Structure 1
Amino acid sequence: MNKHLHTLVLAIDGGGTRCRIAASRGDDVIAVETGSANLSTDFDQAVHQIAEGLEALAAGTGCTVEALSAAPAFVGLAGVTGPEIANRLRGALPFRHVRIEDDRVAAVRGVLGRRDGAIGHCGTGSFYAVQIGDNVRLAGGWGPVLGDEASAQWVGRRALSLTLEALDGRQRPTPLSDRLAERFGGTAGIVRFAGSAQPSELGALAPLVTESAGQGDAIGIAIMRMGGGEIARALHVLGWRPGQAVCLTGGIGPHYLSYLPDDLRAGLAEPEGQPLEGAIALAQDLAQEITP
């Protein structure tokens, strides 16, 4: 039995929607949840959310924040784009032994475990990953301005864009475009909303798109096909091969199944676990590295 599985470890999984912090000792896990923690979007806010989470976790476990901070910790946060911002975060956190990565790393470990396979994660944002043996290749996750193809916010943005085209006469109107035009009050309202909308607000339109696509709406289907094409393109480039697992995660991810090529659909598999469980496993790996 690996004795390090019974060492107290800390795990943090944070993204644009929420931040989850867990203390784990063997099978005993206590977790708390706070708000958005994306380093690139708002560094100070992310640090604040972690600090709030540690206070709540201390209250829930009966430990002090100082005792929790002494435990080996894995921190996986959105917006960790390289060593510079990781080191800045390391200096802002109280942990004595900490490994800092972006949130995709914990998701891969949690969803795939040790299996060879691929992830198409499409939530508010998106990223893609392929794991073969000990090698993990990642792509995407570059945010709403430069990337996040097939994400919920991307779907919402595409729906509004195609609605404007329909109002221009460049696209045949559909029930979806009619509903969006009515909801926002035509072109002026759509432009006004999109100019200040947060990714989560754009993402909130995605369920309307998936529902409309399921009812045969041409614009909804076109958007879902585009998203499915982005997932397929990324996973094939990253090295996925037929016969390996394919996990579609995130709020909108599973909705792309029927829009994927046959080979990817045939590999559909259930996630082994959640990103937070992956972060805990990586914290246990760190505990094994730093103690005899």
Structure 2
Amino acid sequence: MRTHIRIGTRSSALALWQAEFVAAELKKLYPDCSIELVHHSTKGDRILEKPLAAIGGKGLFTEELEQAMYKKDIDLAVHSLKDMPTDLPEGLTLGAITKRATASDVLVSPKYKTLDNLPQGAKVGTSSLRRQAQLLHQRPDLDIQMLRGNVQTRLRKLEEENFDAIVLAEAGLTRLGLEEYITQVFTVDEMIPAVGQGALAIECRSDDQEMLDMLKPLNDEATRWCTMGERSFLRQLEGGCQVPMGVHGTIHKGQLTIKALISSLDGKNCYEGEMTGPCQTAEIIGKNLAKALYEEGGKHIIEDLIQRGILK
């Protein structure tokens, strides 16, 4: 059994919380094992003046950590699963996906309680095309402005840059003990979450069998089935964060239901649907739902994004 584990992490407060959470869980399982956190800065952390979609989307928060794993400078890396590309680099794998916290998005507003309460033309901040499209679908009058940075940076900009509201992931705020900022929690029907939102991914080398065995107890089977279907949906469309789409899986009595949406950037054209089947067919469900929404009209949205240079 390994006596020392090096966990790679980004340096933001949320990333550190996630890495420390995994470290604590490993320490419970293996009390004689020493655990070291190794900090890294990623491209997504450094480039804050551009939207995520404009700087590539895929691997923005993972690539540097993956290079450290290749060099064996670290044994594993902890990520928000929603930041993970659907196809991992050769030689790396997801050793575990932890039990999902809430997947919901939330509204944070210093003056207004809900989305409906926002005044006409309200300035709302988000870096997500998915959130932008779903906000505009409900409130086409809103002035959506780009908002990048970690959770604390976005909360600071909320006041400094005079936003009427911003939209964040509920899991990030609750993990940091910042629940008091939440003014409205969107249900997953009101705003379909991002792929894997609320779940943590633990990535390691695929040939490191000892590490894989040690990570097995941290894997949550239900979350893995749900997110496997969600990631299959995304993989089929090959969109990353450059396509306004949401997808969310739930399990009831052994049946997995995946609900998803593909939308135009302005929220005017939304194609939404769901499919259900046995958990073991998660990847097929996700793939078939993506095909169905693509044929229903998602194809025209993706072709338009390519024509406008947003999707390459």
The verdict on a shared fold, with TM-score over 0.5 as the criterion, is: no
TM-score if structure 1 supplies the norm length?
0.32
Higher relative helix content: 1
Structure number with the higher strand fraction is 2
TM-score by structure 2 length?
A: 0.30
Higher Cα Rg, which structure = 1
